[in-house]
């Protein structure tokens, strides 16, 4: 594969390599082809809509969690549009129903509130209930939909079987960056709690959090689970990964602005953890930089910081073979998902440009941001 010349892109910028995205999409499509299941892109994780025509060649559609996401998927991909939200807003409902073909409710209250509206929408919209299996294998509560007292999904105790008339499917989402052995254990619990109801359903949505495109992911096990569930309950399985679609397909290219010293060497970049890669602070995690090592692994160690005034806007400590100097470019890897969907303009810091790469067109700058993008969301 021809390497991308990162010196030719604007800085900072997110660069998505469509060749790598296609590779992920091919793997996901092979699972659809082998099982007949349908895979949706969860827009929460990756919403770079210039790639939606490409994504739509492989996947069945998108899943949204809000009016705007649903509209984006409807307008920019135009395939299946599913929506789930912890609660829907009454005054948005008519517009939302114009975009979607599947709607999943978080509770029987919400189902009762919107049932008539959905059924009189003038088109067929399949309805589902999100269940909380109360089983997950996630350590961090922030990312665990099944932690104690979670608001996400209906527990078995609150599952009202008398209100299932008009419900076509069930939905659960209980994973985060996990392999198919975790899914296998979750399915066991889902069957135990909701198996009797599944026989009446047209579909079961396994949610997201499947790390399918990661090197060590056990695809065969996933295929077996999907086939088993579809056959046993005579229904269609949906998966809605976000991260797995865009995993390892993009970069954040940044430039060193200044070098300082305060007990150690410090480098300030034209990017920001808090503005451009918020999961570095939220998850938290340490992103990889091409050609770098852990602190003190290579000759020159720096603490890399962002250009906001937030004291904690620090990306981490990295070492390099050569000393850094202003103008040097750094390339952060795996920056396509949960980056541009979560960034913001805190401190008036501009957003990174959005760039794509493919062999036919080379580097394509799709979007650059300016003052009006900043002022336009304030007043
Ligand atoms: C976040 C989310 C997804 C996507 O999760 P990934 O971890 O990005 O695969 C799918 N479905 C629901 C309901 C979600 O909340």
Tens digits of pLDDT across the chain (379 residues): 999 999 999 999 999 999 999 999 999 999 999 999 999 999 999 999 999 999 999 999 999 999 999 999 999 999 999 999 999 999 999 999 999 999 999 999 999 999 999 999 999 999 999 999 999 999 988 899 999 999 999 999 999 999 999 999 999 999 999 999 999 999 999 999 999 999 999 999 999 999 999 999 999 999 999 999 999 999 999 999 999 999 999 999 999 999 999 999 999 999 999 999 999 999 999 999 999 999 999 999 999 999 999 999 999 999 999 999 999 999 999 999 999 999 999 999 999 999 999 999 999 999 999 999 999 999 9
Q: What residue spans of 88-218 are helical by DSSP H? A: 93-99, 108-119, 180-198
Residue list, annotated binding site for substrate = 243, 279
Residue list, annotated binding site = 243, 279
For ligand 1, atom 2: residue with the closest CA:
208
Is 207 near ligand 1, meaning CB less than 6 Å away? yes
Is 128 near ligand 1, meaning CB less than 6 Å away? no
**Among residues 65, 95, 58, 94, which one has the least CA distance to residue 79?**
58
For ligand 1, mutation pick of 44, 104, 154 (most atoms within 8 Å of CB): 44
Calculate how far, in angstroms, residue 207's C-alpha sits from the geometric centre of ligand 1: 6
Calculate how far, in angstroms, residue 211's C-alpha sits from the geometric centre of ligand 1: 11
Is 209 near ligand 1, meaning CB less than 6 Å away? yes
pTM of the model: 0.97
**Domains of the chain in sequence order:** 6-13+250-335+343-375 (2.40.37.10), 36-246 (3.20.20.10)
Is 153 near ligand 1, meaning CB less than 6 Å away? no
Cβ-based burial of 262 (10 A; exposed 0-12, middle 13-18, buried ≥19): exposed
Percent helix, percent strand, percent coil in the chain, to nearest 5: 35, 25, 45
CA pair distance 208, 136, nearest whole angstrom: 13
For ligand 1, mutation pick of 62, 209, 238 (most atoms within 8 Å of CB): 209
Specify the ligand 1 atom closest to the Cα of 130: 13
């Amino acid at each position: 594969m021809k390497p991308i010349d990162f010196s030719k892109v604007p800085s900072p910028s997110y660069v998505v390599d469509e060749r790598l995205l296609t590779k992920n999409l091919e793997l996901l499509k092979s699972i659809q082809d082998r099982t007949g299941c349908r895979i949706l892109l969860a827009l929460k994780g990756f919403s770079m809509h210039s790639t939606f025509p490409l994504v739509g060649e492989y996947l069945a559609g998108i899943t949204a969690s809000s009016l705007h996401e649903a509209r984006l998927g409807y307008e920019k991909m135009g395939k299946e549009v599913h929506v789930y939200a912890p609660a829907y807003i009454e005054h948005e409902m008519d517009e939302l129903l114009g975009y979607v073909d599947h709607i999943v409710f978080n509770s029987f209250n919400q189902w009762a509130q919107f049932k008539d509206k959905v059924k009189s929408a003038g088109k067929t919209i399949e309805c589902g209930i999100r269940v909380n299996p109360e089983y997950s294998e996630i350590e961090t509560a922030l990312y665990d939909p099944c932690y104690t007292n979670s608001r996400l999904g209906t527990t078995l105790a609150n599952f009202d079987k008398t209100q299932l008339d008009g419900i076509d499917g069930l939905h659960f989402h209980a994973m985060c960056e996990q392999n198919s052995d975790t899914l296998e254990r979750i399915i066991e619990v889902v069957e135990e709690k909701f198996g009797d109801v599944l026989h009446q359903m047209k579909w079961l949505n396994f949610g997201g959090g499947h790390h399918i495109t990661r090197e060590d992911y056990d695809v065969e096990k996933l295929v077996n689970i999907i086939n088993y569930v579809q056959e046993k309950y005579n229904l269609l399985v949906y998966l809605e990964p976000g991260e797995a679609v865009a995993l390892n397909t993009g970069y954040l290219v940044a430039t060193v602005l200044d070098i300082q010293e305060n007990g150690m060497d410090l480098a300030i970049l034209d990017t920001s953890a808090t503005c451009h890669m918020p999961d570095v602070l939220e998850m938290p995690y340490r992103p990889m930089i091409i050609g770098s090592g852990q602190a003190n692994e290579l000759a020159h160690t720096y603490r890399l910081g962002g250009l906001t005034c937030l004291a904690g806007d620090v990306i981490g400590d990295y070492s390099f073979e050569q000393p850094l100097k202003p103008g040097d470019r750094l390339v952060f890897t795996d920056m396509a998902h949960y980056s541009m969907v979560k960034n913001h303009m805190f401190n008036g810091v501009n957003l990174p440009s959005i760039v794509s790469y493919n062999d036919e067109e080379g580097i394509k700058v799709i979007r650059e941001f300016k003052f009006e993008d900043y002022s336009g969301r304030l007043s």
